[in-house]
Amino acid sequence: MRRCLPVVGVLITLLWVPSIAQDARGALDAAIAAMGASNLHAVEYTAVKGNQYALGQAPGPGKPWPRFTVTQYSMRINYDALVMREQTTRIDDEKPPRGGGAGGYNPESQQGGIRPIPFGPNVITTLRNGQTPDGALQIWLTPHGFLKGAAANAATLTATPRDRNGSLSLSFKAFEKYTVTGTLTRDNLVERVRTTVAHPLYGDSVIETQFSGYQDVGGVKFPSRMIQRQGGFPLLDVALTAQPGAAAAAALTVPAPGARGRGQGEGPAPAPAQGTARLTTRELAPGFWAIAGIQSFIIDFRDFVVVVEAPASPARMEEVLAEARLLAPGKPIRYVVNSHQHADHSGGLRAAVAAGLTILTHEVNVPFYNTMLRNPATIEPDALARNPRAPILEGVADKKVITDGTRVVEVHHVRGNLHSEGLLMVYLTKERMLIQADLFSPRQAEAKPLPWSTITANFYDNIRRLKLDVAQMVHVHGGTDPFDKLVAAANLPHE
């Protein structure tokens, strides 16, 4: 008799399948009714306090994202047109600032590039098209957006049984690769929504939004608090007020193609289109080239090559490695030097691992990369997902000299810098050129002078400590400047 039991179990499972599917639709309908979602076509959420955090810009490997104070926040959603606009006004009031997240330099506002972010509040606006996966996911990460997304993708809907607290999870699949899961309370309110997105460095990365303090506004339930997290740490935490049917939200229209509405958050740059022509490369000194963008550098030695920096994305890094092979044909790439663990500077590392190259980074980053560079990337399979290999990491403590007997390149730890623990700079001794990332922000000639920054002053102190005879600074974020500019910036008066 005992031998028959598994068969009975299978039969019961098969019989349950239609019932579970029905339960999912029933649970969704109950949540739509409880939340009043059918009657909601547009909404504006506003906040006057909260915190925003910069993804991928932690002050050290594995630490929480750096925090900024939110003074104004608005999230407008038009559920009919499938458009979402988010605007965050933030101030950089952490004293002293730790980590990155100032965003790229914006010539109009003269903000960005370095912390503390100068010249008053910093406004980040993003406009998302819900017809695209990126835009749709953001709308689904809101309470009513999740329910509308689940209804639109009802064919893929599944539900878990209610747990002892009366909660259940509803999941749907969209664009053939994203699974979006919402947790409903016993009262059928949306408590959290999560999905997994692609990240150039972290691979498959979970993003989750949590809602609480529901209030009824005209028969529709709205949360009064929202916390969004990615990689386990908060991205946004705001106290919300909802205005259903707000005219500004109802008036939103689909952004024109190409209008990405990217904010100033120093996130990874979008990957360039595949199959483009050769990268824009400039020779800064004989055998020393810079590749435009968030820059990578190629340094030619007698019988090997060193690449400095693997920014942006694995696709971009594959192009950089191809360029290195064109510029120095037949020579092996001995190292890919990584300045620090921020995502804009390390987003290409997975391609370096796939190519079997040795990554030279500060030793504090080694355990972090050993985890990150082994993560799966199933959402957007990259070079490493196609060609899985274990990362080869070499940690630098204070200094590493790379030489062929003629050319000498020194890699130094920038000690005690608050931008990132384990930040490296690269000094070409004969050329007297110093490659730096995020320690000094170049400005146009007509720009207002930046206020004093502890991050820049510490950079200058490290150069003096090491007695480096620098003539020119070469900036990973673009351009070069004579050393005098740094001397002036580091010696500005300050509190």
Site for Zn ion, rule CB under 5 A: 100, 342, 344, 438
Q: How far is the CB of 334 from Zn ion (least distance, A)?
A: 24
Question: Phi and psi dihedrals of 319, rounded to 5?
Answer: -70, -40
Closer residue to Zn ion in complex, CB, 382/438: 438
Q: How far is the CB of 350 from Zn ion (least distance, A)?
A: 18
Q: How far is the CB of 344 from Zn ion (least distance, A)?
A: 5
First to last CA, the chain: 84
Q: Find how far residue 462's CA is from the centre of its chain.
A: 29
Closer residue to Zn ion in complex, CB, 318/344: 344
Closer residue to Zn ion in complex, CB, 220/437: 437
SS3 state at 443 = coil
Closer residue to Zn ion in complex, CB, 43/437: 437
Check: CB of residue 146 under 8 Å from CB of residue 130. Answer: no
Check: CB of residue 117 under 8 Å from CB of residue 102. Answer: yes
Q: How far is the CB of 53 from Zn ion (least distance, A)?
A: 15
Q: How far is the CB of 335 from Zn ion (least distance, A)?
A: 20
Q: Find how far residue 320's CA is from the centre of its chain.
A: 21
Q: How far is the CB of 28 from Zn ion (least distance, A)?
A: 43
Closer residue to Zn ion in complex, CB, 214/369: 369
Q: How far is the CB of 353 from Zn ion (least distance, A)?
A: 21
Closer residue to Zn ion in complex, CB, 100/200: 100
Q: How far is the CB of 489 from Zn ion (least distance, A)?
A: 17
Among 372, 424, 430, 375, which Cα is nearest to 400's? 424
Q: d(Cα 185, Cα 189) in Å, to the nearest integer?
A: 5
Q: How far is the CB of 177 from Zn ion (least distance, A)?
A: 29
Closer residue to Zn ion in complex, CB, 45/440: 440
Closer residue to Zn ion in complex, CB, 23/344: 344
Closer residue to Zn ion in complex, CB, 97/145: 97
Residue in the structure block whose two tokens are 């009975």: 8
Q: d(Cα 255, Cα 257) in Å, to the nearest integer?
A: 6
Residue positions counted in the chain: 495
Q: How far is the CB of 262 from Zn ion (least distance, A)?
A: 15
Closer residue to Zn ion in complex, CB, 106/212: 106
Closer residue to Zn ion in complex, CB, 34/269: 269
For residue 397, give Cα distances in angstroms to 261, 288, 361, 393.
Answer: 40, 25, 9, 13
Give the pairing of strands 333-337 and 358-362: parallel
Check: CB of residue 315 under 8 Å from CB of residue 302. Answer: no
Concatenating the DSSP letter of every residue in 190-237 gives EEEEEEEEEETTTEEEEEEEEEE--EEETTEEE-SEEEEEETTEEEEE
Among 61, 52, 173, which Cα is nearest to 123's? 52
Closer residue to Zn ion in complex, CB, 98/342: 342
Which residue(s) pair with 204 in the sheet? 198
CA angle 304, 479, 467 (to 5 degrees): 70
Q: d(Cα 459, Cα 468) in Å, to the nearest integer?
A: 12
Q: How far is the CB of 462 from Zn ion (least distance, A)?
A: 16
Contacting residues for 307 by C-beta, under 8 A, at least 6 apart: 296, 297, 298, 299, 320, 321, 324, 333, 335, 336, 337, 352, 357
Q: Is the dihedral of CA 171, 172, 177, 180 positive or negative?
A: negative
Q: How far is the CB of 142 from Zn ion (least distance, A)?
A: 30
Tally of CB atoms within 10 A around 304: 15
